[in-house]
A and B are shown apart, each in its own frame.
Chain A
Amino acid sequence: MSTNTKGLRDWIIQRVSAIYLGLYATFLFVYLIVHPDLTYQVWQNLFTLFWFRVASILLFGCLVLHTWIGLWTVITDYIKLPIIRMIVQLLIIFSLIIFFIWGIEIVWGIPLTWI
């Protein structure tokens, strides 16, 4: 038997993505502390780094999954009418896809450096 069903899978995804979101936020927090005189140029340079770009896109992915699982839980708790639930779910999926693409575009829209 495998317990690897939607319940367990969602639960793991939500926890793993939360850890990643926490690590990313901690990194940004530390970065802001060690750069007290942060200029826009320095801030932009951070996002030109390839590894940070990948890390940021991974962040968007985690954010999308985390948000979807969380909101799906809230919706199935509070919205009981199937048609309204379906509409709200579609709106959320649509918004999350837009945010994801938009995020990639922002991060990838600036010139790339490899180190």
Chain B
Amino acid sequence: MKFLIYRYNPDQDKEPYMQEYHLDIPKDKDMMLLTAIEMIKEQDQTLSVRRSCREGVCGSDGMSINGKNGLACITLLSNLKEPIVLRPLPGFPVIRDLVVDMNQFYKQYQSVEPYLQNDEPEPAKERLQTPKQRAELDGLYECILCACCSSSCPSFWWNPDKFVGPAGLLQAYRFITDSRDTATVKRLKNLSDPFRIFRCRGIMNCVSVCPKGLNPTRAIGKIKSAMLKRDIQDQG
């Protein structure tokens, strides 16, 4: 099986290049791409890649697989056409080979204050939710921050410092819609400039690549609706 893998070591290489690798994998045997990468690493230990849980939970091994972002650990080789082309997440600065610098991505995540804020007196036990209120969080809290979505978003490529990106906005909505959070107005205001949320043009690349099947575009639409509603209420 033929692999073409992006290689770049800034200390040694003038510019990035694609390196070819071959693996002998029996036709009747299938495996996850990450396992194949581990086998390639046995051939060539200089190849750098991030990985941890190997089961689609930690979000470390996000990469561009045959042109589409995904997690190597939950991508079956049998679903990929040869040669399998692996590149680092697009739009992110490359540290080395398939390892990218996620700082900007995390900064945007941090900027939406992804934690519960409540200024009411603390109850004796816990802040309760109805099953319906709890169900609002489904499809939002499952994000593993692998960055597959933000890295497939042209708006994030061009303005990663100004546009929050789909991952951050999904988390923003996760707290905006949380019945226990009282900072909704502050959260909406935090996103209201022309870039932070409105740079999303709804092309839905984020939805098509999310390895957890989440829908940031829908969350973004709901934040915009919430802003509009709030604005109408304020004026009326």
Binding site for B on A (CB under 8 A): 1-8, 10-12, 73, 76-78
Contacts and interface: CB of A to CB of B under 8 A. Distances in A.
A3 B192 contact: yes
Given A1-B185, A77-B158, A7 B231 contact: no
Contact of A3 (B155, B195, B227): B227
Interface of B: 154-155, 158-159, 185-186, 188-189, 191-199, 201, 224, 227-228, 230-231, 234-235
Contacts of B234: 1-4
Nearest to A4: B231
Given A1-B185, A3-B231, A76-B159, A8 B192 contact: yes
B158 A5 contact: no
Contacts, number: 52
Contact of A7 (B159, B186, B192, B230): B192
Given A3-B230, A3-B231, A10-B198, A77 B155 contact: yes
Given A76-B159, A78-B158, A2 B231 contact: yes
Given A76-B159, A77-B159, A7 B235 contact: no
